[in-house]
Structure 1
């Protein structure tokens, strides 16, 4: 009999779900995760945040889940598996004050991607009030509401050559995920 604890709870953050023609029902995604052996599967919002439990390590889970998602939905799946502790860190280390005029994003991805994102941010033309900051190995971005996709950095984030390296979520989404874990 297995007992669920916080050490084996994860969230898979899927890249590019329900945008640009890659549409999925979260109930179907949860079913794919269950068939792959994940337990306690549920979704948070419709943007590809899947909570689950497993005894496996995050790197192994990433490979297994990308494979089954790619096969089931006939697309090249990218996802990033984070533990409850990692999500807590993302939420607790936000470097920006909450401000209703801005969106604040946290990024999850492969090791080292935060420095790449920071470099790209420095090179990009900024809109007024747009900021980015590294905290440890995490990258955060603050952008005025309505400018996320229109800012030069926002366009850089959508480049196809970067899609396998990271995904981002509004900080509010990370907080909702954490509450459900």
Structure 2
């Protein structure tokens, strides 16, 4: 019998799910993960956050899941796999205080994307109170509510040359993932 501990509990953060015509039912996504050999599969919210256990290495998991998702849903899947410990770190190191006037996002993606995001943020125009910080390898962005998609940095995030390199989640999503993982 396999024993799963926090070292083999993961969340896959899917990019571009249920936006711009890529619609997926999370139950169907979970079934694809099970078919790809993942265990203890469940979803958090409808934005493509899939919890699972596996004894495989992250690089292998990513490759298997992207291939399975691409084949099943007939689209080019991009996802980023984080361990339970990495998710705990993302949530714990959030540098911004809770403030009902702001959204706080953290980003997961390819190695080094956090530095690119910080450079792009520093070059962009900012709304009052809009801030970003790089803590370790994690990039955090605080933006006034209602300005996320209209902000200059928000528009940069949609660039084609960046789209396959990261995905973002509200810090509250990371908290919900941790409660369920």
Does the residue aligned with 2:164 lie in a helix, a strand or coil? Answer: coil
* Structure 2 gap ranges (5+): none
Counterpart residue number, 2:21 = 21
Q: Does 1:115 align with 2:131?
A: no
Does the residue aligned with 1:70 lie in a helix, a strand or coil? Answer: helix
CA RMSD of aligned residues (A): 0.6
Does the residue aligned with 2:69 lie in a helix, a strand or coil? Answer: helix
Counterpart residue number, 1:105 = 105
Task: Assess if the C-alpha contact under 8 Å between 1:78 and 1:163 holds in 2.
Answer: no
* Structure 1 gap ranges (5+): none
Q: TM-score, structure 2 length as denominator? A: 0.99
Cα distance, 1:137 vs structure 2: 1.0
Task: Assess if the C-alpha contact under 8 Å between 1:110 and 1:165 holds in 2.
Answer: yes
Q: Distance in 1 between matches of 2:7 and 2:76?
A: 29
Counterpart residue number, 2:54 = 54
Q: TM-score, structure 1 length as denominator? A: 0.99
Q: Deviations over 1:93-131 (max 9, x none)?
A: 001111000000011111100000000001111111100
Counterpart residue number, 2:71 = 71
Q: Distance in 1 between matches of 2:45 and 2:12?
A: 13
Q: Distance in 2 between matches of 1:138 and 1:42?
A: 25
Structure 1 residue ranges (4+ consecutive) displaced by more than 4 angstroms after TM superposition: none
Counterpart residue number, 1:171 = 171
